Structure 1
Amino acid sequence: MVILIAAAGKNNALGKNNELVWHLPDDFKRFKALTSGHHIVMGRKTFESFPRPLPNRTHIIITRQKDYNPEGCIIVDSMEKALEISPINEDVYIIGGGEIYQLGLPFSDKIELTRVFETFDADVFFPEINLDDWDLQQEEFHSKDEKHNYNFSYQTYIRK
């Protein structure tokens, strides 16, 4: 199954200047639990936003740069190639950024979205979810607290 996984603000904000615009520790834990042991597909800028490759995951990076070759990663130049080399009978997670989500949306079977209930100033956005194509299957609300400055919900969408 091809799964988009993201955290986005009410205005679909993802980040600014190649950084997230919020800090939600529980969302990081959920991301790690869902993606560990799987192939993760991302753009070069998303990969470069990490301090190091994420442990226990196979990194597939989509880039137009011909000489880009970070150690231990698979480099491709299209979403089609990224999905082609991913295991057929396993979940594959598309983890961003904005352009990569847009490219991956037509191939996706599921969206795991953390909706942050705030509007943010951003330069990268998650694509609009067309409810003619997607069913919201599950939603779990979390109130802001001492570790989380915003209300948020985990939302699971399945393609109709």
Structure 2
Amino acid sequence: MRLIWAQARNGAIGAGGTIPWHIPEDMRHFRELTQGHPVIMGRRTWDSLPERFRPLPGRANIVLTRDPAWSDEGARTASSLEEATSLYPDAWIMGGSQIYAQALEQASVLGVAALHVTEVDLDAEGDAFAPSIGPEWRPVATEPTEGWAISRTGIRYRFLEYARSQPVG
């Protein structure tokens, strides 16, 4: 199980149900990593996807909702993160902020093995924020290996992958 998100310097990941920047290279990176794997998201994240992209193609789309009557074309539902991850252990968790926080809090129980974070080199207005990455996570890969990539939209960004540190002892 893996988590994936993009965040601004100030930790913002969303504003008003949208991503507060446009980096096509990050969208391509997301698609390449998650293609062929289930994606787990909260209901607000599902609702924030433009209709033409719902469901995300080539992936089972699992939507977490407390409303047992909720349904939408192309969405599979789960009532909890535990249920979703037990049914789809090879899934990518793609948001939102509450789901990320819960997944990190229960990472060892849920089997979260990696975090894939796109750092965006700007401060953005936001109402949804990335969770704090604790000391149990260590960076294992950065692309580019030094400095920043520059999007065709002019925004600097880089991809980081974190793995859980092995307990000492």
Give the TM-score normalised by structure 1. 0.91
In the alignment, structure 2 segments of 5+ residues that lack a partner are: none
In the alignment, structure 1 segments of 5+ residues that lack a partner are: none
Give the match for residue 159 of structure 2.
154
Letter in 2 for 1:149: G
- Give the fraction of aligned pairs with identical amino acids, expressed as a percent: 32
**Cα distance per residue 1:126-160 (max 9 Å; x no partner):** 10111x20110011134335x23321110000011
| 2:68 is aligned with 1:66 | yes
**Larger strand proportion of the pair:** 1
State the 1:49 CA deviation.
1.3
Verify the 8 A CA contact 2:141 2:160 in the aligned structure 1. yes
Give the TM-score normalised by structure 2. 0.87
**Across the two proteins, how many residue pairs are aligned to each other?**
154
Give the match for residue 119 of structure 1.
123
Cα distance in 1 between the residues matched to 2:24 and 2:124: 18
Letter in 2 for 1:18: G
Letter in 2 for 1:139: T
Give the match for residue 133 of structure 1.
136
**Cα distance per residue 1:65-113 (max 9 Å; x no partner):** 2211112321111110010111x4xx31000010111111132210000
Verify the 8 A CA contact 2:55 2:73 in the aligned structure 1. no
Cα distance in 1 between the residues matched to 2:76 and 2:62: 5
Cα distance in 1 between the residues matched to 2:6 and 2:34: 14
Give runs of ≥4 in structure 1 deviating > 6 Å. Answer: none
